[in-house]
């Protein structure tokens, strides 16, 4: 078991790390890794504490720090120096990646996040200057951060992406307030009709001319079966049978191998 130095709370795990480096994958390796992680876990928790008050649950941050510690233990080479100088950046990096990848409501690229941080930091520095009473403009931020105007605009835009506005948020003047949900569009049934017509095209091509004519008169010209029968010189019952059979053929073709090939 690991012992502790008398002058601080850092565990003395050098021999354990050396044994781990020599151990092959298996139960002994896993046991040594677990022992080392448990020994250094208080340090990982202290590092996680540095990130408190940033909007994340402390227990979640401790779990992230623990994952960073596991990586540090697995990758550490005892021949290359002490463990702490290697472990601290590894754990800290894991926590920073967590904030970068999981605490943004709107996911943006790493480069944009970096620009956001630069712009925010520079703007804060400019605002903290003695005698400053106004918000710095884009040109001032660009000069202070060493960025181009376009990069500053990108960073400013990213400032609004860190947290999303609720759809229930009220907007507009106080006398005419409405929520963002009220501005969303509604489902358009016409799109379904277009989809159905496109799906039926191939099936219609495989019908005889008379059957295509009957379907066109019935569904596009809105003629009754009696009027169609009179125009074509056949009985209404025969028109009804042809419509039923033709629709079934069109539907079967639309749902058959051709449709499956298109979907694939």
Tens digits of residue pLDDT in 83-119: 999 899 999 988 887 776 665 555 567 777 788 778 8
Q: How many CB atoms lie within 10 A of CB 248?
A: 11
- CA distances, 228 to each of 213, 217, 248 (Å): 9, 7, 19
Assigned architecture for domain 189-256: Orthogonal Bundle (1.10)
* CATH classification (class only), 3-102: mainly alpha
Domains 3-102 and 105-164 share a fold: no
Name every residue whose Cβ is closer than 8 Å to that of residue 159 and which is 6 or more positions away in sequence.
Answer: 116, 119, 120
Tens digits of residue pLDDT in 119-153: 888 888 888 888 777 888 889 999 988 999 888 88
In the prediction, which pLDDT does 106 show? 55
pTM: 0.41
In the prediction, which pLDDT does 70 show? 92
**pLDDT at position 21 over 80:** yes
What's the mean pLDDT when you consider all of the chain? 78
* d(C-alpha 91, C-alpha 236), whole Å: 81
Give the angle subtended at the CA of 106 by the CAs of 104 and 109, to the nearest 5°: 85
Domain extents in the chain: 3-102, 105-164, 189-256
Query: What is the CATH number assigned to the segment(s) 105-164?
Result: 1.10.10
Tens digits of residue pLDDT in 142-199: 998 899 988 888 888 776 655 555 555 555 555 555 555 555 555 556 556 666 666 6
The distance between the two most distant Cα atoms of the chain, rounded to a whole number of Å, is 109
Cβ–Cβ under 8 Å, residues 226 and 217? no
């Amino acid at each position: 078991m690991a012992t502790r130095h008398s002058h601080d709370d850092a565990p003395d795990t050098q021999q354990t790390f050396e044994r781990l480096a020599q151990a092959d994958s298996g139960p002994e390796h896993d046991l040594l890794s677990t022992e080392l992680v448990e020994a250094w876990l208080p340090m990982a928790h202290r590092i996680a504490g540095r990130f408190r008050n940033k909007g994340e649950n402390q227990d979640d941050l401790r779990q992230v720090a623990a994952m960073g510690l596991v990586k540090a233990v697995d990758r550490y080479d005892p021949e290359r120096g002490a463990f702490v100088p290697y472990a601290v950046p590894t754990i800290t990096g894991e926590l920073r990646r967590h904030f970068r990848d999981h605490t943004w409501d709107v996911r943006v690229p790493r480069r944009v996040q970096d620009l956001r941080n630069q712009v925010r930091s520079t703007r804060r520095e400019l605002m903290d200057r003695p005698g400053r009473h106004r918000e710095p403009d884009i040109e001032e931020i660009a000069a202070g951060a060493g960025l181009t105007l376009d990069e500053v605009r990108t960073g400013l835009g990213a400032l609004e992406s860190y947290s999303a506005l609720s759809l229930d948020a009220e907007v507009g003047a106080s006398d005419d307030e409405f929520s963002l949900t009220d501005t969303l569009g509604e489902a358009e049934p016409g799109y379904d009709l277009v989809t159905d017509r496109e799906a039926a095209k191939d099936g219609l091509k495989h019908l005889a001319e008379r059957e295509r004519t009957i379907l066109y008169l019935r569904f596009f010209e809105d003629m009754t079966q009696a009027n169609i029968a009179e125009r074509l010189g056949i009985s209404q019952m025969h028109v009804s049978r042809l419509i039923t059979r033709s629709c079934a053929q069109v539907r079967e073709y639309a749902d058959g191998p051709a449709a499956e090939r298109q979907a694939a």
